[in-house]
Structure 1
């Protein structure tokens, strides 16, 4: 007889779960503290993010145990299951979404509030992981400026809760072996995870539920194994399992890095460690002596609201104080953690516990309505562009106007990072300017090329020239060189493929010219801006036409790649315009100064901008290389934008009340259009266009 999938919740048993284990709450404490430390000090604890993987294993274990016991007693109710999930998850989530709504309304610029609104809607709909997957990219707002970034893991768990009860019910109905079936599901998910990492689809592999399910399935398999056999506590095996489990987790903290293709094989460390600790039982050495200590258990009990609060507070504070002194940021971190603890305890004690203990079906419906309303509110905020004219906002009205000058071109997202995994997508470029024009030019490069899209588009429209544009972030798109990662494995083949496709297209369709824009000093391994030294000497290698690589310092490799690229166009008879890099400011846009108050002293802000002498010194090695290439190849012309972006002493941040920069080194639309007259003049000369007298 198969277990019923849906029953009236009135027939539910009072307790469907497993016997309470304080050590599992202790494991939750370890997980949340690791994540908190990672978020507050990623450079000092780069492996702490694997705490999320511990949560996944715990969830898989507990939920599967509850389901199996309910199925066994024929007391499972799908409605009751989701009601319990709602009472567990929605109270703290609703509090966080409401806090974000109020804080965003008062403190954020319209563009920031609009982005927050989108993430509120995604968080309320439990699709934040999918939204972040689609957003991933160089020019997207940095992770620190996404207060609801961490809801991706909650989305993965909720997607698991939607699918898993029915799946497990079908396994039992068809009389499959439960543990073996779960291991098969886990194996398929793990194989997809390995394939995704190996094929450089690391972003979807990190976020998608199908490539994360194996971590939840690991806990589920242990629950299924425990269900018929029971646990045998306080055995030599349990003590060694607890020690080995903790050791694996610690090794994960030490050796796992965000740039090492996670989860992949690295995910085995926290997942296996968590499984061994749970398997060991509450009387095992580590579980009893460390994880079951009262302060540790208390931290585990508030781990969920702490997970939600700590990042929201830090992210919003970082957004509001962007560009502030490091000392200010350190003070904020010191305050954020104890404040997060206090808010987590209040949320647990006065919101979660009363609702979980006394809340009924009406309470669950109310929670669903509240979270849905907050999600719809976020969607409305996003669709209205962040409600720029909202009452009671503390934002300086002059700052709103200044921020508006930093907007990016609407065409930019459709023209940049058109890649699929580590390769170029089939549609790898876009058209700017006059799409009907027969005469055309190729323009490509990295994110600094993207910054010039408004100027390139304007030139094409005014001169009736079609501009084919493409670019990839952090990509020296030059023939003959490739970027390497720290493990001497070729990384980002799309960059080299971009250089090859651009040259092939220019040859086949007879391009009138080529524009190449790069953050040259970044790839040369020198100083890109004051006090920022880039160490990439071992990350670029040159290779011959047969694809054989040879080690080379960055400067030598870039020089080789540039010569190879220019030589190719010289032989094709195609002129090339090389742009010297724009000035780069010493720090992030100081929004914390202009966000509040009644006036903005742009002159004072400009005094902190990069000086002309500093800019010339920073870009000196790159400019000398470009000048040498221009002297050697008659088809090459250079463009220096300093005259448009600098005065006699400085390269100011702001001109005529507008920001020339999108952040610290990328030009805004305003900055790009300041460069436009010089760019137009250079392209006219390159293409031999005579201007009317």
Structure 2
């Protein structure tokens, strides 16, 4: 991922151990995304890259400023030569396969992500659209470009900052950078608790990692402008370098997706990387290991390898090939392919663009502008062509005037203005049901959705790793329910992906332990997730019985969840229009037991759905080239229409 152009020897002497450190960064990231459980903290490789980038860029800029030949134009020329050719090549190579295997709605989303990549704002795009640790993130070919966007945004400001602050001299400048670093780190620690998604993706809470590299460069900087490398051997330096390596390895193998990131935990790999840069030399064991030829060679390919791995893995997960059930063989082979492609793009795409005698400065900038315009055109075309696909997940709360959102994640949709009000209240599975209804002069249908959160009071999410900020605090779900009760609807229909809250995810090659699971607000422990959900259902029945006694309360049986099979387009390509029912029933056993209990209790009426999709042996997931799903669990418009009959029967018995 690190994308710093190698400068000339008179500016910064070559350190092979830095290329070896790039290997330590890129391999864990690739293995983590490939689903190797042993590398549960492999995502810290990105943080290692940030530190390396901050160190190299600051070393180069400080030397050029001190020697009096700094040029902002030349700096951005180097960035363009290093970053853009391989990036654009990978995107173009990804497109044909994405068009072949992605659903229309996903292609539209890909078009938007391409546009964001073109202007180095993909971290903003994915912040708004994708939780990095969500299993569905593994199907996003360009998700990894968020880190490139963070770096490039940093490089917009840092050269000018360094130039203006240079008059402070080394001690004052170092102190100034240290203060900013501490402020950014404090912001990250706060954001990890209160705004985890923003915290993960955006520059203000990531800048301290790059600045830590900058501080490392300032420590090594020597006048009249030649950055020093660790020199000589001492037991103290060797011990500090080994300590740094130990901190990095501990992060790779000891952290997982439940570790708040970035936060004070991130200091561990960041500090480890700084210690390696400061003290690893050819005279100590850490420097010798990092300078081994295989380590250096992989490090040289690291940028291209980082670019290739995510599209390759994502496209495989979207393709019919995933149904071979040979992932333990295929993923190692894909990793080999990643490095073969990385070697090709490094040798024939990256390297040629670095030679000024082949492409002039003016030519580089012309090519960069043309490429950006081309990607904007491609992304815009995909977005426009596939725009007719209903994007219900983007419906905004403003569609329901007077409804108090109480949280930024809430979305709402309203159909009709009739006197009879029916509210469908639940998680993201509510909004696709809009297509199950049509205008009725006597009715008003209101769809209230809190993505990733069940419509149950007395519960809260406890994973705290991304998109849970809308229901991971006591009282949040009760607040939403109170808003529903205040409307005094005729009928309330609870909608949820119940198996998700009872089991978590069931996807291949996914590193997750407790995503989307719930706990009681009372703090009571010792309950299974199924028991927690059942308690929440009982509490919700009691709540609406007290706050909306005139409302009839329903619960909608979850439609067949096909996540254990995969993305619907790939499933249809490999298995046809239906899947075996046995696996679905086994996964739904806890939900069916809960619904049976509620039906017998009588206070909550159950709306059955499975008979509209399934027979005794199989469940239909599409028909006549129409998919019933948007992905592996949300209904499409065609799928939602299958529920028109049971929903109308419930509303008008």
1:30 maps to 2:24: yes
Displacement of 1:228: 3.3
- Which runs of structure 2 are paired with 1:174-193 in the superposition (5 Å)? 177-193=172-188
Say which of 540, 557, 562 aligns to 2:532: 557
- For residues 529 and 370 of structure 1, what CA distance do their matches in structure 2 show? 40
1:447 maps to 2:428: yes
Length, aligned pairs only: 627
Distance 1:296 1:178, change over 3 A: same
Displacement of 1:110: 4.6
Displacement of 1:303: 1.3
Partner-residue secondary structure (3-state), 1:67: helix
- Which runs of structure 2 are paired with 1:365-376 in the superposition (5 Å)? 365-376=365-376
1:396 corresponds to: none
Displacement of 1:191: 1.0
Distance 1:501 1:439, change over 3 A: farther
Partner-residue secondary structure (3-state), 1:283: coil
Residue 485 of structure 1 contacts residue 539 of structure 1 at CA under 8 Å; is this kept in 2?
yes
1:6 corresponds to: none
Residue 524 of structure 1 contacts residue 537 of structure 1 at CA under 8 Å; is this kept in 2?
no
Residue 247 of structure 1 contacts residue 273 of structure 1 at CA under 8 Å; is this kept in 2?
yes
1:605 corresponds to: 576
Unpaired runs of at least 5, structure 1: 1-12, 388-403, 686-693
Say which of 406, 410, 413 aligns to 1:431: 413
Partner-residue secondary structure (3-state), 1:25: helix
- For residues 619 and 442 of structure 2, what CA distance do their matches in structure 1 show? 32
Residue 317 of structure 1 contacts residue 332 of structure 1 at CA under 8 Å; is this kept in 2?
no
1:392 corresponds to: none
2:555 corresponds to: 578
Residue 65 of structure 1 contacts residue 223 of structure 1 at CA under 8 Å; is this kept in 2?
yes
Is the deviation greater in 100-109 or in 441-450? 100-109
- For residues 220 and 460 of structure 2, what CA distance do their matches in structure 1 show? 51
2:544 corresponds to: 569
1:47 maps to 2:41: yes
Query: Normalized against structure 1, the TM-score is what?
Result: 0.82
2:340 corresponds to: 342
Distance 1:521 1:119, change over 3 A: closer
- Superposed CA deviations along residues 494-521 of structure 1, whole A, max 9, x for unmatched, are 5864531343224433222211122334
Residue 529 of structure 1 contacts residue 618 of structure 1 at CA under 8 Å; is this kept in 2?
no
Distance 1:542 1:32, change over 3 A: closer
Displacement of 1:105: 5.6
Partner-residue secondary structure (3-state), 2:597: helix
Displacement of 1:157: 1.1
Distance 1:644 1:105, change over 3 A: closer
1:21 corresponds to: 15
1:412 maps to 2:407: no
1:7 corresponds to: none
- For residues 370 and 520 of structure 2, what CA distance do their matches in structure 1 show? 58
- Superposed CA deviations along residues 503-548 of structure 1, whole A, max 9, x for unmatched, are 3224433222211122334434599999x9x9979954435xxx56
- Which runs of structure 2 are paired with 1:288-687 in the superposition (5 Å)? 288-321=287-320, 324-327=323-326, 329-357=327-355, 358=357, 359-385=359-385, 409-414=390-395, 424-425=406-407, 428-434=410-416, 436-455=417-436, 458-459=437-438, 461-462=439-440, 464-485=442-463, 493=471, 497=475, 499-525=477-503, 540-543=518-521, 547=522, 549=524, 551-571=526-546, 572-573=548-549, 574-585=551-562, 586-589=564-567, 591-592=569-570, 605-606=576-577, 608-610=579-581, 618-634=587-603, 636-685=604-653
Residue 581 of structure 2 contacts residue 614 of structure 2 at CA under 8 Å; is this kept in 1?
no
Is the deviation greater in 557-566 or in 106-115? 106-115
Query: Normalized against structure 2, the TM-score is what?
Result: 0.86
2:215 corresponds to: 221
- For residues 513 and 206 of structure 2, what CA distance do their matches in structure 1 show? 33
Displacement of 1:335: 3.2
Distance 1:343 1:580, change over 3 A: closer
Distance 1:676 1:205, change over 3 A: same
Partner-residue secondary structure (3-state), 2:576: helix
2:4 corresponds to: none
Residue 244 of structure 2 contacts residue 276 of structure 2 at CA under 8 Å; is this kept in 1?
yes
- Superposed CA deviations along residues 240-298 of structure 1, whole A, max 9, x for unmatched, are 11100100001101121122211112211111011000000423423432011122111
1:241 maps to 2:244: no
Displacement of 1:385: 2.4
Is the deviation greater in 365-374 or in 667-676? 365-374
Residue 104 of structure 1 contacts residue 113 of structure 1 at CA under 8 Å; is this kept in 2?
yes
Residue 97 of structure 1 contacts residue 374 of structure 1 at CA under 8 Å; is this kept in 2?
no
- For residues 125 and 614 of structure 2, what CA distance do their matches in structure 1 show? 39
Displacement of 1:555: 3.5
Residue 500 of structure 2 contacts residue 516 of structure 2 at CA under 8 Å; is this kept in 1?
no
Partner-residue secondary structure (3-state), 2:580: coil
Distance 1:113 1:474, change over 3 A: closer
Residue 554 of structure 2 contacts residue 605 of structure 2 at CA under 8 Å; is this kept in 1?
yes
Residue 114 of structure 1 contacts residue 386 of structure 1 at CA under 8 Å; is this kept in 2?
yes
- For residues 224 and 446 of structure 1, what CA distance do their matches in structure 2 show? 50
- Superposed CA deviations along residues 375-401 of structure 1, whole A, max 9, x for unmatched, are 2232233233259xxxxxxxxxxxxxx
Partner-residue secondary structure (3-state), 1:204: helix
Displacement of 1:124: 2.1
Residue 479 of structure 1 contacts residue 500 of structure 1 at CA under 8 Å; is this kept in 2?
yes
Displacement of 1:312: 2.4
Partner-residue secondary structure (3-state), 1:242: helix
Say which of 146, 152, 157 aligns to 2:140: 146
- For residues 132 and 22 of structure 2, what CA distance do their matches in structure 1 show? 33
- Superposed CA deviations along residues 445-482 of structure 1, whole A, max 9, x for unmatched, are 22333442322xx25x2254333322334423322233
Is the deviation greater in 119-128 or in 13-22? 13-22
Is the deviation greater in 367-376 or in 150-159? 367-376
Residue 118 of structure 1 contacts residue 378 of structure 1 at CA under 8 Å; is this kept in 2?
no
The structure having more radius of gyration, on CA atoms, is: 1
Is the deviation greater in 118-127 or in 651-660? 651-660
Distance 1:50 1:536, change over 3 A: closer
- For residues 589 and 349 of structure 1, what CA distance do their matches in structure 2 show? 35
Distance 1:342 1:615, change over 3 A: closer
- For residues 519 and 217 of structure 1, what CA distance do their matches in structure 2 show? 42
Distance 1:161 1:101, change over 3 A: same
- Which runs of structure 2 are paired with 1:145-164 in the superposition (5 Å)? 145-164=139-158
- For residues 416 and 320 of structure 1, what CA distance do their matches in structure 2 show? 35
Distance 1:146 1:52, change over 3 A: same
Is the deviation greater in 669-678 or in 498-507? 498-507
